[in-house]
Amino acid sequence: MGPGESEESIVPLAIGLSFGHVEKTIGGRPSVPRNSRVSIRLLTLRSLTASLMLLAWTATPAAASAERPASPGRLAASASAKKAGTAKKISFFEQPDLVLYRLSEQRWDRKLHDSFGLPDWVELSLTDRERLETVSHPWRRGQTPKTDAQVAKRLRLRLGFNRGPFWVLAEGQDSRLLLHDGGEFDGPSVEDHADLLQLFISARFANTFGSKLRTDVHLGRFTFEFGSTRLIGRNVYPNATNSFEGLHVNVGREKRWRARTFYTRPLERFVDGRDTSYAERTLWGTVYESSRNPWLLTELYYLGFDDHRDRRPAQGINFSTLGARVRRDVPRGSELKKLTGRGTVDYELEATAQDGRKGPKDFRARMVHAEVGYTWNVHLYPRLAVFLDYASGTKDPNGPVNQTFDKLYGLKDFDLGATGIYGLVNRANLVSPAWRVHCNPRANLRIYLRHAFRYLDEAKDSFSGANVTGFAAIRDATGRAGTYLGNDIELAAIWNVSDNFLVEGRYGHWWKGSYFDRLPRNSGLPAGGGADTDFFCASTQARF
């Protein structure tokens, strides 16, 4: 727990979050899900969740309270706990999807697991995130001209079983919006009601054929990411999550290198329906990562994508993505205490090229991210970084070549700002120079301020993301509106109160540019959409 926090203080919060959708009203209207059938299912699910949360904090079975011998995969207590002379251990053991995505999304004290006194060969955990968001002066085609205020709720429940090197894991997710009206930002990018996120079998071999190489194999439905997550990522900030069906193989030597290969069918999300994959749409690839030199961490990757669901002549999509990334990581957490001298430099450079066909047109696109930063070894460990994001656009949308970069299933929050119902730009037809400064008042508290300038790469191409589901993105076919979208700031504070409880707040202001003043009247821009936009969000995440 964090300073000043107690277990008793979290219980009512957890119960309130679980049942908040029943109690909240706006303008006298109860904020219940639109589909009554799904509402009943959700109410049952969240009732069970609340019961499990309460049990996780109050149940004290002998098997959970007694000191149990630590398994090889169980992590010891934090360094601060050891210095304090306590015997507390963090109840976390290696998860079957460890190699698929970042550790920070897996590592927390398994209170629900321990409340039942379960052994390490059983995984049982859940997370519940609640986020309030408001956006003024919406600009997307299809939106109503009023402030959009919503509550995004995301619940995940995991259950897995292990025997020897083998695991079976299931993870369900329920993502939805409350306080939501027609004409506001919605759709499967932010809603996915009561669906199966992961269901796979896996095998881990720590010393494959005596070679000292670790091998992991995953078969089924899973989430995964690689590298910077700009092309494939397990969603953290967004309310809905990318998922895939297929095969993933990881081979490597710890702290030196690893190679990954996969062949999958991406799932298409539906708000109320079952998420579905298609035999006609596939994503495959190979990734090599080298961590031998901390000054030159290297990644090389090849991805292939094919979509032939549209069987009309010359309407299929088939292209390759080839890229490389080099970097030196930013020091975080306990690494800050190890800094020597005045400070340290970090950097990142990623370049990606895409080539193939999209419908009847050739497809050739590019993406670049370049960043350099410096962290000072003084109080608060301030860091200043400057960076540039570039994603190509199509110079002549009526010509024979499509040049608009395809971000595939990538993430953008860490580069381009908060997503959710805000997400003012996408990684397509974009040039965005920016700077960011952040500090660390405490090891578990990070505060940053980012300022970015936004330009379209090509004036005649679409403003990617400037639309809601069912509408085309805003585009000035004449190019007279120019390319300047404006500049924006984002101030954020991210507080890991404990491994089990996270709090986050963000404020953003977007000074819209001349592009919006010059758009033709028939562009689809909502009334008042050219005025500056304010964004605010506050979220909590409880993990059990």
CA distances from 135 to 139, 185, 424, 469, 534 (A): 10, 10, 10, 17, 6
d(CA 357, CA 363): 5
What is the pTM (predicted TM-score) of this model?
A: 0.84
Question: DSSP string spanning 366-389?
Answer: EEEEEEEEEEESSTT--EEEEEEE
Which one, of 53, 122, 59, 128, lies nearest residue 93 by Cα? 122
pLDDT at 313: 76
d(CA 474, CA 433): 22
In the predicted structure, residue 371 carries a pLDDT above the cut 80: yes
Our CA angle for 407, 323, 417, nearest 5°, is: 40
At residue 510 the predicted structure's pLDDT band, cuts being 50, 70 and 90, is very high
Which one, of 96, 234, 238, 281, lies nearest residue 170 by Cα? 96
In the predicted structure, residue 300 carries a pLDDT above the cut 90: yes
**H/E run at residue 22:** helix 7-23
Total residues found in the chain within this entry: 544
At residue 90 the predicted structure's pLDDT band, cuts being 50, 70 and 90, is low
For 472-539, the three-class secondary structure string (H helix, E strand, C coil) is CCCCCCCCCCCCEEEEEEEEEEEEEEECCEEEEEEEEEEEECHHHHHCCHHHCCCCCCCCCEEEEEEE
CA distances from 178 to 32, 33, 190, 193, 274 (A): 7, 7, 11, 12, 20
- Distance separating the N- and C-terminal Cα atoms of the chain: 12
Q: What are phi and psi of 187, to 5 degrees?
A: 110, 180
In the predicted structure, residue 37 carries a pLDDT above the cut 70: no
CA distances from 181 to 27, 133, 146, 465 (A): 12, 14, 11, 20
In the predicted structure, residue 309 carries a pLDDT above the cut 50: yes
What's the chain's average pLDDT? 85
pLDDT at 46: 53
- Beta-bridge partner residues of 455: 431, 484
Which one, of 242, 184, 178, 176, lies nearest residue 409 by Cα? 242
For 118-176, the three-class secondary structure string (H helix, E strand, C coil) is CCCCEEEEEEEEEEEEEECCCCCECCCCCCEEEEEEEEEEEEEEEECCEEEEEEEEEEE
Residue pLDDT, tens place only, 103-136: 989 989 999 999 999 999 999 999 999 999 999 9
Please give the single-letter amino acid code of residue 176. R
Tokens of 469: 């589901």
pLDDT at 536: 96
Residue pLDDT, tens place only, 389-424: 999 999 999 999 999 999 999 999 889 988 888 989
For 221-274, the three-class secondary structure string (H helix, E strand, C coil) is EECCCCCCCCCECCCCCCCCCCCEEEEEEEEEECCCEEEEEEEEEECECCCCCC
At residue 24 the predicted structure's pLDDT band, cuts being 50, 70 and 90, is very low
Residue 422: partners with Cβ closer than 8 Å, 6 or more residues away: 133, 135, 508, 535, 537
Tokens of 252: 């490597």
CA distances from 91 to 50, 161, 355, 544 (A): 21, 16, 47, 10
Buried b (16+ CB within 10 A) or exposed e, 413-423: bebbbbbbbbb
**Reduced DSSP (H G I as helix, E B as strand, rest coil) percent helix, strand, coil of the chain, to 5:** 15, 45, 40
Average pLDDT, stretch 495-506?
A: 95
In the predicted structure, residue 80 carries a pLDDT above the cut 90: no
Residue 8: partners with Cβ closer than 8 Å, 6 or more residues away: none
Residue pLDDT, tens place only, 205-221: 999 998 999 999 999 99
Q: Domains in the chain and their CATH numbers?
A: 7-543 (2.40.160.100)
For 335-370, the three-class secondary structure string (H helix, E strand, C coil) is HHHHCCCCEEEEEEEEEEEEEEEECCEEEEEEEEEE
Residue pLDDT, tens place only, 273-291: 899 999 999 999 999 999 9
Please give the single-letter amino acid code of residue 406. D
Instruction: Evaluate whether 392 touches 405 at the Cβ level (below 8 Å).
Output: yes
In the predicted structure, residue 60 carries a pLDDT above the cut 60: no
Phi/psi class of residue 486: alpha, beta or left (left: φ > 0; alpha: ψ in -120 to 50)? left
In the predicted structure, residue 537 carries a pLDDT above the cut 70: yes
